[in-house]
Homo-oligomer: A and B are copies of this chain.
Amino acid sequence: MKKAFETLRWAGTTDGVLELLDQRKLPGRMEYLACRTPEQLFEAIITLAVRGAPAIGVAAAYGICLACRQLPDPSPAAETLKTVLKTADYLAQSRPTAVNLFWALNRMTRTAQQVLAANPTCTTGQLKEALLAEAKTIETEDRRMCDAIGRHGQQFIPDNAAILTHCNAGALATAGIGTALAPIYTAHAQGKKIRVYMDETRPLLQGARLTAWELAQSGIEAVLQCDNMSASLMKSRKIDAILVGADRIAANGDTANKIGTLALSILARHFGVPFYVAAPSSTFDLSIPDGTGIPIEHRRDDEVTHVAGSRMAPEQIGVYNPAFDVTDHADITAIITEHGVIERPCTDTIRHCLRQDNP
């Protein structure tokens, strides 16, 4: 499915630059940020110029290409591999929770290792080309993954449905049309009438700034509310289903996603509203048995104490600011992946669905 804008794009050949739609500036301005070095990309990731687990993965893959871009050609192949590994280690430090970052970096380092193993005398140029090709493959797969999630998930969006979503798991969070929003875009393209309720998603307001922006462009009816209003919406029977993305899914289906998702899952169970997680197979981390093993990023106090540059809270107080929480798999109706729908997710159903990736 086509999208109205590009979330990120590689411009040029192996010596090109990575251009990111700067999400810190939305919805006010639509500006692309050019990253020429891994350091610039690192800064873009930690400040959320690019965010969303799949988009971070794709961007990190191109980050390896940016590191190689700086190498003189020819360089010793071992030197190039060292740069690739060092850059992967470096970019892996940017954010701890979304596993797609590590997944994409692993694919890039594996590619470099495989190319060198197959041809130890390959030129730096050949290695760069192989790495750029792999990054582009990851990007293409990401777009296709979004389309597939849309196809598998649209069955959960009846005509005239009202869907609640949290944060932004849309086109801005992926190279494609999104994860949680993909079924909505797909259902909309099929002619279904849909209303989307968006949690504003404090502290950084990705719902108000980003989901609202992309839905406003799509022509889908969109209603914004504060995070603490979702229970009132569900109680008044305004919500038919909840759809969210994911940053890391443990082997048993426990799901780390943007802070606030946990509350929604418990409220959904209380009010009998189906609760769906949409995520590609790259978001699963089968090395972690359950959600207790998922590292949770805690971010700076001023994200909470300040809004739009204005201090809202007095100075003498503490702040609790985790960026993610972990939803229990038992509270998830189904996980929608590019391979199909995992109903009642647990270790067995997940392994069964993902077995093509993890035999």
Contact = CB atoms under 8 A, between A and B. Distances in A.
Number of copies: 2
Interface string A216-252: 1000011111111111110100000000000000000
Interface string A263-307: 100110010000000000000000000000000000000001101
A72 interface: no
A263 B230 contact: yes
B317 A232 contact: no
Interface in A156-170: none
B208 A313 contact: yes
Interface stretch (A89-97, A195-203, A335-343): A195-203
A321 B263 contact: no
A325 B230 CA distance: 10
Interface residues of A, number: 57
B27 A313 contact: yes
Nearest to A318: B223
Interface string A10-43: 0000000000000000011000000000000000
Nearest to A319: B224
B216 A316 contact: yes
B317 A226 contact: no
Contacts of A305: 208, 224
B231 A325 contact: yes
A4 to B, nearest CB: 14
A62 to B, nearest CB: 28
